[in-house]
């Protein structure tokens, strides 16, 4: 199986000319006033995604806590 980075090698622009062309197309599509708003929104989205990914890591209980029996004998019921 081919590594992922090798599969995308032809799809990702690597030179300066490709980036300039992409920026010109974006400028034509969205205009000069919308591009800063789009960039800000993209940056906030990435920041929020990273924050959520960091906060979603499940907290693992300690091994001793998981094996202790319930001292009340109710097993979490009221």
pLDDT at site 33: 86
Dihedral sign of CA atoms 53, 23, 25, 21 in order: negative
Average pLDDT over residues 12-37: 85
Q: Which pLDDT tens digit goes with each residue over 31-78?
A: 888 888 988 999 999 999 999 888 876 655 555 555 556 666 666 555
Label each residue of 13-61 as H, E or C. CCCHHHHHHHHHHHHHHHCCCHHHHHHHHHHHHHHHHHHHHHHCCCCCC
């Amino acid at each position: 199986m081919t590594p992922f980075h090798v599969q995308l090698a032809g799809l990702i622009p690597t030179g300066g000319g490709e980036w300039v062309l992409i920026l010109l197309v974006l400028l034509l599509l969205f205009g000069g006033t919308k591009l800063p708003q789009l960039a800000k929104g993209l940056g906030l989205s990435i920041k929020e995604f990273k924050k959520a990914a960091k906060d979603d890591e499940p907290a693992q209980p300690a091994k001793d806590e998981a094996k202790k029996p319930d001292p009340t004998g109710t097993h979490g019921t009221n």
